[in-house]
Amino acid sequence: MGEYEKKLEEIEKRIEEISGAANAAAVETLRREFLGKAGPFQDLMKGLKNLPPDEKPGMGKRINGLKNRAAKALETRLVELREQLGDDVSDLDYTLPGTRPTQGRLHLLTRTIEQILTVFQDMGFHVVEGPDIEDEWHNFEALRLHADHPARDTQDSFYLGEDRLLKTHTSPMQIRYMEEHPLPIQMVAPGYCYRRDPFTSRHSPTFFQIEALMIDKNITFAHLKGVLVEFVRGFFGRERKVRFRPDFFPFVEPGCEIAMDCPFCDGEGCRVCSQSGWIEILGAGMVHPGVLEYCNIDSKANTGFAFGMGVERPAMIRYGIDDIRHFYENDFRFLSQF
């Protein structure tokens, strides 16, 4: 009898502590402690068989009374917490595992831009940025895209009024940089571009470009080839082959198209490369003397090269993506893969 009394007194003291439970989780812990299969009431009920027959009814009634008292104290504390927190905490199952929060990550295009810029920064290029809204001088005239050039048509560019438009390429930053900085120049400029193109699997009215420029004395086409070969192999893999073919751009002379052997078929020919074995990467060339003169740079004493590329195409090639629209539709099923 003395042992039973001692245990009952201990339980009564523990029941008084329920009212001080700090939160619903603490209440749940106390519920398992008092009312669980391994709780004190189960042990006390099992021990009744060892008591004298005349004491069993009274002791059993007292044990059940304490058990009901504990259950009521637990429910009362949950109600109090619900009123304090404004939340139906009694419906929560605290035995369930928690939900791990989704970890944020960089967008695939942002990662691609950083990877491309890292290759050029390792070669000594300085990263600069320019405005999204340009005037016709920087966007067209200084790049020898004169008034009769098709790119200046309002059907191809987003004009914001007289002599103002959303930049159609990142080349205007070359002009701005040459106007404001002394030689030698070695810069790379990432940025958004805007054109009136349909939104298809291969084209977007808004896209990223990265432009590069190097101006100094005795810069030759060999320097251009060395930089571009290093970029292609640094970004796509050291095993890639690079091809240069003549092409025309108004702001360079001579101009060229740079392609690499198709990484999907190793140059054998497939659907991705239209059976040619090559994939065009970017356009480049030696800066036209007229462009240098527009920026008050002596074209007889100085030479340079420039090139520009879209960011989406390298990303599509590197990660095997077949539709440019995936970059802009914000489908987490797509974005979470990278």
Digitized pLDDT (tens) for each residue of the chain, 338 residues in all? 567 677 777 887 788 778 777 787 788 887 887 777 777 777 777 777 777 777 777 777 877 887 888 888 888 888 887 777 655 555 566 677 877 887 778 899 999 999 999 999 999 999 999 999 999 999 999 999 988 888 788 788 999 988 899 999 999 999 999 999 999 999 999 999 999 988 888 889 999 999 999 999 999 999 999 999 999 999 999 999 999 999 999 999 999 999 999 988 888 888 888 899 999 999 999 999 999 999 999 999 999 999 999 999 999 988 888 889 999 988 888 888 88
Domain ranges, residue 206: 108-335
| Global confidence as pTM | 0.69
Q: Are residues 12 and 113 in the same domain?
A: no
Q: Are residues 6 and 81 in the same domain?
A: yes
Specify the CATH number for the domain of residue 196. Answer: 3.30.930.10
| Residue in this structure with the two tokens 């095997």, named with its chain if needed | 320
| Residue in this structure with the two tokens 């590069």, named with its chain if needed | 212
Q: Are residues 292 and 155 in the same domain?
A: yes
98 located within any domain = no
The domain tally of the chain equals 2
The whole-angstrom separation of Cα 27 and Cα 94 is 10
The whole-angstrom separation of Cα 118 and Cα 122 is 6
The helix-helix angle for 312-319 and 108-122 (nearest 10°) equals 100
14 located within any domain = yes
pLDDT of residue 47: 72
pLDDT of residue 152: 81
Q: Are residues 77 and 121 in the same domain?
A: no
Question: Which of these three, 38, 56, 91, is where a domain ends?
Answer: 91
The whole-angstrom separation of Cα 277 and Cα 55 is 97
The answer to whether the beta carbons of residues 120 and 212 sit under 8 Å apart is yes
59 located within any domain = yes
Q: Are residues 36 and 176 in the same domain?
A: no
Q: Are residues 40 and 155 in the same domain?
A: no
The answer to whether the beta carbons of residues 239 and 245 sit under 8 Å apart is no
